[in-house]
Structure 1
Amino acid sequence: MSPFVSGALGAVTILLLAGLARRAVWHRRFRRFQGGRPFLLRGLFRRLGTRPEQEQVVTAEADALAAALGALRGDAVALRTDLAALLAEPALDSARLDAALDARLARLAEVKARLAGALARIHATLDPEQRTRLAELVRSGPHRRHAHAGGAC
């Protein structure tokens, strides 16, 4: 695969992750609190039947992941600026393109490691029955039990 194609694929990956990060940051910024817990996590806690100490671990991990994704979004904005500058030049400098992409992919690897660690900590915190319920929620999606317009979601 040519360096340009691999770089372009990396850029697309970064931009897609930036979109996810943007959504996560938006939800973090505009979430509602009740009793010190984020609105989006209250339903999860209710479905899993978590204890307060478990909720603290899950909330801390969710906050840390949102912060990491926010930093990744900042990198994606910088990458877009770098890519625009490279595309504006008469000849594409593959070395600069690789350097720009490698810097962002390193951040992506950090976020991947952070996500793996968060999932491990959450897994260790939950009871076996709670893990089974969480696995079912992940498998089926969060709106499975809701009945909308004729039962179709």
Structure 2
Amino acid sequence: MTHAFEIVAQPIRRRIIEVLAVGDHTAGELCDVVAVEAGVSRTAVSHHLAALRDRGVVWSDVDPAEPRARRYFLDPGFLMRLDDAVCELFDLWDHRYGTAQRRAPLVDPPRTRARLHRWEDAAVRRRERLKREWGDDDAAERSH
């Protein structure tokens, strides 16, 4: 199965997905919009649409208003795969660097002399900040 990031990495395919996220469209409508915006032929857009269909990103059905036309829909399962891929990326980031909630990284940084000095300064600043936040002298004990 193709990774969700690989699918949205291609600008024409990403634009087709964006248009279909707003609502379903016929192949002709998609070709008209994307071909003009991307400066490519309708055939190129049709090729990318077929690739998206083959990868399970979109699906099509006969348009009830125009039986000779196909109406394309964005598959919600693909959006869930994309969301899962982004969540995995956030988890990796979280594991490596911590979060915005001031959590420390899960891995120990290298201990060089200059780095240790910065860590001591950071520890002093942290204790001072905790004293201000807690409003008492016991903040240093609670920070350990």
Answer 1 or 2: which has greater helix percent: 1
Question: Which entry has the higher C-alpha Rg, 1 or 2?
Answer: 2
Structure with the bigger RCO (C-alpha within 8 Å, sep 6+) is 1
Shorter-chain TM-score above 0.5? no
Q: Give the TM-score of the pair, scaled to structure 1.
A: 0.27
